[in-house]
Amino acid sequence: MAEPVAFRYRAFISYSHADTAWAKWLHRGLESFRIDKDLAGRETATGTVPKSLRPVFRDRDDFTAGHSLTDQTLAALDASAALIVLCSPAAARSKYVTEEIRLFKTRHPERPVIPLIVGGTPGDPDTECFPPSLKYKLDDQGRITDEPVEMLAADAREAGDGKQLALAKVIAGLLGVSSDDIFRRAERDRRRKGRVRNGIAAVLALLVVLASGSAVYAWQQLKTNEAFLTATLKTTTEIVNTAVSQAETFGVPRKATLALLSKAEGLFDNMALLGRPTPELRFQKAWMLIQFARNYEALGDTTKQNTRSDAALEIMTNLAPSAPDNTEYQMLFAPR
């Protein structure tokens, strides 16, 4: 069979339904892995290092209606640059997993098959984790022989490599580079994400301090200086926008991000009440509400998104008639 010009999937994850949680963890880890610029484009034994490991095919989630399971499984296997097998006693007993491995090895013997142990013990008759088609070689007809395959498996168990090193080994196998190199890069990225999470936590802590009125001088300035108040609302809204956008990227729990938004919104409402309801302040409040609506949309809270959008629309609808001398408002908000 002729090789496809380009692979649709960087890898195909073969696993037993009993190991779904492991499959989700692996899928998330692979697709979120950052490939450094100095590594992307490098030529290795597995080909050119891509800019990203996305997309990775995870069976049972990627099927679409209107196609048979067998046809789509075969098509996905053919379109995958590598096969990753989650090895466990359940996988070793699974005819489905065994057949996926057998088909991939038969149809694409030149492509890598990467085993990842998530449970069981290799060679143990009671807890064997390697499926037969992975453990043994195939003959010319694609039948399983009794000749063992020599292989090095990543081991995600605590008693083995542990999750992070095992993930690094799988990524290294996909890219054709050393696992030590990948692990060092992953650790550096993990520390960077930790700094971002700490920064977001610091933003939340600052909002808590401000909301409590502890920053006495700042609050006094907000009460007496309208330009300072307007600029502060704009700047702090932008800071919160950045925190929310980075939170999803760097794994900050959604509950914590929603708490940040809620705290920020309460603070901003109190700040807005400090000034006179000038057109500029009302414009800033409408802009602030739009930003909060977008953030709530990103976090999946459509109720709060719609409430904030409606409030912003009401302010903007009334803004042009209340400021007839402001040509910018007339152009932006006048009825059409």
Counting other chains too, the contacts that 247-251 makes at CB distance below 8 Å and 24 or more residues apart are 247/200, 248/298, 249/196, 250/193, 250/196, 250/197, 251/193, 251/197
| 176-190, 230-244, 251-265: range with highest mean pLDDT | 176-190
Q: Is the pLDDT of residue 26 over 80?
A: yes
Q: Is the pLDDT of residue 2 over 50?
A: no
Backbone CA torsion sign across 88, 90, 94, 97: negative
Confidence of residue 295 (pLDDT cuts 50, 70, 90): confident
* pLDDT given at position 4: 38
**What number is the average pLDDT over the span 214-225?**
46
* pLDDT given at position 331: 61
Q: Which tokens belong to 99? A: 């057949």
User: How many residues would you count in the chain?
Assistant: 336
Tens digits of residue pLDDT in 118-146: 999 999 999 999 999 999 999 999 999 99
Q: Which tokens belong to 208? A: 């808590």
**Residue matched to tokens 């330009």:** 227
* pLDDT given at position 296: 80
Q: Is the pLDDT of residue 231 over 90?
A: no
CA distances from 97 to 25, 123, 131, 211, 273 (A): 18, 18, 7, 56, 63
Q: Is the pLDDT of residue 207 over 70?
A: no
Q: Strands 56-58, 11-14: parallel, antiparallel or unpaired by DSSP?
A: parallel
**What number is the average pLDDT over the span 147-166?**
92
The CB density around residue 302, as the number of other CB atoms within 10 Å, is 11
Domain ranges for the chain, please list them. 11-177, 190-333
Q: Is the pLDDT of residue 216 over 50?
A: no
* pLDDT given at position 68: 46
State the chain's mean pLDDT as an integer.
Answer: 78
- 66-75, 199-208, 309-318: least confident range: 199-208
Q: Is the pLDDT of residue 259 over 50?
A: yes
* pLDDT given at position 166: 93
**Is 248 or 103 the better-scoring residue by pLDDT?**
103
| 142-146, 236-240, 298-302, 311-315: range with highest mean pLDDT | 142-146
Which CATH architecture describes the domain 11-177?
Answer: 3-Layer(aba) Sandwich (3.40)
**What number is the average pLDDT over the span 251-275?**
64
* pLDDT given at position 178: 80
* pLDDT given at position 222: 44
- 12-16, 210-214, 329-333: least confident range: 210-214
Tens digits of residue pLDDT in 103-122: 999 999 999 999 999 999 99
**Is 224 or 155 the better-scoring residue by pLDDT?**
155
Q: Is the pLDDT of residue 158 over 80?
A: yes
207 with 192: CB under 8 angstroms? no
Share of the chain above pLDDT 90, in %: 36
Confidence of residue 6 (pLDDT cuts 50, 70, 90): confident
Residue 178 and residue 76: Cα distance in Å, rounded?
27
Share of the chain above pLDDT 70, in %: 63
SS (H, E, C) 292-326: HHHHHHHCCCHHHHHHHHHHHHHHHHHHHHHCCCC
pTM above 0.75, yes or no: no
